[in-house]
């Protein structure tokens, strides 16, 4: 993939969950996946944002009532940016549906660097224990849900600010999700009861979530003004990356053992 192609963002326009306009490079598969995801997003009273994989791209869903614009961000580009809220602000909602939209080109570069003072400001609020608990749960591979009567992008973005870069590139979210939460890692919904949410950490339990290494290290860096330590925390591997690395090393070790055991070394002398 060329550098220019990697920065190209195709677009879809959905009206009541059905695609009514698309840029030339958007595929039928992406349209089908986007329409399936849109069913759960509903028609919020206000602006909402969602992120979910759509084939080789990551869909950033900008929801305004019945109209949804979907930005199809190439996977490598999305992981390099890692901040859907930055994408949303950089490419603000355009709900025009009377003609097919053009493809966009991301020429803004990476998101603003998260600074120590930004993290300190979040951890000095009354909800810091809840935010830290939710962050630790996500780092450990869990999922988190918040019950709200309307979209709440602020809470989700504060948690996003505390996450490592790798997790930000892998995790899915919805700042308003009245429908099925399957496939979303952190959501805001009008109700979070029933079997669909049985595996989600709720707000009332997040403040008491067991402290983990990442949470404690994040607090320590903030309290000691350790900007370098904070950068190292943000650069750490995600759980899925660590698992893949461990499996790779295990396979290499097994193959190495087999080579030592079965290769006729005496014939190679």
Q: What is the pTM of this model?
A: 0.86
Name the pLDDT band for 267 (thresholds 50, 70, 90). low
Residue 10's CB is within 10 A of a number of other CB atoms, namely 22
Could you report the per-residue pLDDT of 105-136, keeping only the tens digit for each?
999 988 889 999 999 999 999 999 999 999 99
Could you report the per-residue pLDDT of 184-232, keeping only the tens digit for each?
999 999 999 999 999 999 999 999 999 999 999 999 999 999 999 999 9
Query: pLDDT value at position 118?
Result: 95
Nearest residue to 88 via CA among 15, 165, 156: 156
Name the pLDDT band for 3 (thresholds 50, 70, 90). very low
Query: pLDDT value at position 9?
Result: 97
Domain ranges of the chain: 3-105, 116-234, 245-269
Half-sphere exposure of residue 6: CA atoms within 13 angstroms, side-chain side: 11
CATH class of segment(s) 3-105: alpha beta
Could you report the per-residue pLDDT of 133-142, keeping only the tens digit for each?
999 999 999 9
Query: pLDDT value at position 185?
Result: 98
Phi/psi of residue 104, each to 5°?
-110, 160
pLDDT, mean of residues 80-97: 94
């Amino acid at each position: 993939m060329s550098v220019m192609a990697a920065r190209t963002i195709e677009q879809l326009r959905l009206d009541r969950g059905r695609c009514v306009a698309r840029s030339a490079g958007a595929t039928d598969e992406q349209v089908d996946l986007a329409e399936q995801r849109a069913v759960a997003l509903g028609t919020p009273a206000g602006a909402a944002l969602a992120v979910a994989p759509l084939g080789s791209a990551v869909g950033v869903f900008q929801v305004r009532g019945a109209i949804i614009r979907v930005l199809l961000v190439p996977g490598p580009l999305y992981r390099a940016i890692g901040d859907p809220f930055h994408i949303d602000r950089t490419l603000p909602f355009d709900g025009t549906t009377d003609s097919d939209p053009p493809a966009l080109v991301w020429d803004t570069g990476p998101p603003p660097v998260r600074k120590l003072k930004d993290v300190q400001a979040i951890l000095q609020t009354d909800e810091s224990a809840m935010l830290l608990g939710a962050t630790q749960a996500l780092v450990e591979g869990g999922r988190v849900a918040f019950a709200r009567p309307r979209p709440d992008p602020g809470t989700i973005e504060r948690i996003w600010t505390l996450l490592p870069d790798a997790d930000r590139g892998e995790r899915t979210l919805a700042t308003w999700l009245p429908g099925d939460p399957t496939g979303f890692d952190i959501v805001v919904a009008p109700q979070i009861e029933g079997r669909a949410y049985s595996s989600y950490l709720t707000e009332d339990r997040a403040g008491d979530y067991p402290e983990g290494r990442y949470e404690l290290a994040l607090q320590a860096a903030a309290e000691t003004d350790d900007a370098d330590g904070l950068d190292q925390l943000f650069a750490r591997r995600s759980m899925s990356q660590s698992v893949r690395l461990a499996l790779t090393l295990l396979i290499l070790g097994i193959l190495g053992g087999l080579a030592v055991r079965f290769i006729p070394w005496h014939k190679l002398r």
